Copies of this chain bind each other. A is one copy, B any other.
Amino acid sequence: MNLRSPGPTPCPEDVLQAMGRQMIHHRSPAFAEIVGRVTEGLKTIFETKNDLYCLSASGTGALEAMVVNFLSPGDRVFVVSIGVFGDRFATIAETYGADVTKLDFEWGTAADPSAVEQAVSEGGPFKAVLVTHNETSTGVTNDLEAIAAAARRAQPGVLMLVDAISSLGSIRCKVDEWELDVIATGSQKGWMVPPGLAMISISERGWQAYEESTMPSFYFDLGKAKTFLAKGQTPWTPAISIFFALDVALGRLLEEGVDGIIERHQRIADLTRNGVKSLGLELLAVEDRASNTVTAVRVPDGVEWKTLYQMLQDDYDTLIEGGQGPLAGKIFRIGHLGWVTGEDIEITMKALSQALPRVGHQLPEATPAS
């Protein structure tokens, strides 16, 4: 199967082999060694010296961890949303009793830093700004550096809580330089590992907010994570196999280096966008903020998405993902993060070029026969 979803992503053979390793005990020196190495490796790619923890949960669990560890009921928070995952972040904050002010931007566009600056300035002060780095539902990457700077111009020292689930490990994200206080990603994204772990880093300002927070937390209590990591452990029995896999994947990623990882994703994303356009299809995302991990494509007029989706799987062994929420049926999404090559994208484009005419989309004349 040519799995071209924006997560889970295919995993390299050595990573899968690591998944099949026999169990070791999670409070043994052997596990402590792995946790230590994995944590340090992640910090390198996060470009941070902050504390960092792996939680046995999906990325959504990490978003919940951000809310319950650093906020209190009634806290005024500012959420920047450009799609499903920005909205989810706001919903989690509301669920736990935060007072949410949400600034929405049209889906397919990125957040405008100056609009963020103005809104925070006029509506503040806020306890925190919550923002999605890469919006997987629309294939748009926010200018996180500019947004964080804008928020800080409006309110110096405001806490930044960042969903970087589908960007960290794929798209440039300088956690320390951009002063991103709390930021999280998930193992099944650019990390080339199966789902089951979320990785989260916390700045000193984040720990100050932790001390002030009155929201209840237990499973996701990062103070407990801190206490146990000092012993090379996690508070609860962790997803050990995924640590094994992440250890191997990080070996690959660290060898490639952060710049290499970022450039590879840029190159593959360009291939994808050019391929899609050559098929006469339109991107949902504004060109200058199109994501390097997922490309959202408008379903062409007259084409039934579900038919195309099924045909791609049945006849071309290729899975791409549909739209979420109000975008269901209107877009499809091609994942190109993690363990992906130019050849994978060529296969995907070939599949699309053959399937699309069968479901009613005429290819442009310039498209080479394939």
On A, residues with C-beta under 8 Å from B are 1, 3, 5, 7-11, 16-17, 19-28, 56-61, 64, 91-92, 95-97, 186, 188, 194-196, 216-220, 235-242, 313, 319, 321
Contact = CB atoms under 8 A, between A and B. Distances in A.
A354 to B, nearest CB: 21
A218 B57 CA distance: 13
A219 B64 contact: yes
A219 to B, nearest CB: 5
Contacts of A313: 28
A261 to B, nearest CB: 19
Contacts of A21: 16
B1 A22 contact: yes
A186 to B, nearest CB: 7
Given A22-B10, A22-B16, A186-B237, A195 B3 contact: no
15 contacts: A7-B237, A8-B26, A8-B237, A10-B22, A23-B188, A25-B321, A28-B313, A56-B57, A56-B196, A60-B219, A61-B219, A91-B218, A92-B218, A186-B237, A194-B239
B194 A23 contact: yes
Given A3-B25, A219-B61, A242 B240 contact: no
A11 B23 contact: yes
Given A61-B236, A196-B239, 8 more contacts: A16-B21, A16-B22, A17-B20, A20-B20, A28-B313, A58-B238, A196-B242, A239-B242
B97 A216 contact: yes
A26 B194 CA distance: 11
Contact of A95 (B60, B61, B218): B218
A66 to B, nearest CB: 12
A64 B11 contact: no
Given A16-B21, A195-B239, A236-B61, A217 B95 contact: yes
Given A237-B188, A238-B195, A5 B25 contact: yes
A357 B220 CA distance: 43
B19 A240 contact: no
A333 to B, nearest CB: 12
Contacts of A237: 7-8, 58-60, 186, 188, 195
A235 B61 CA distance: 11
Contact of A240 (B17, B27, B97, B194): B194
Contact of A196 (B9, B196, B220): B196
Q: Which 3 A-B pairs have the closest CB atoms?
A: A20-B20, A196-B239, A58-B236
Given A10-B22, A24-B1, A95 B236 contact: no
Given A23-B8, A23-B188, A241 B194 contact: yes
Contacts of A60: 218-219, 235-237
Contact of A26 (B20, B186, B195): B195
Contacts of A240: 8, 188, 194-196
Contacts of A319: 25, 28
A199 to B, nearest CB: 14
A359 B26 CA distance: 25
B22 A19 contact: no
Most buried by B among A20, A235, A238: A20
Nearest to A31: B8
B23 A56 contact: no
Nearest to A73: B216
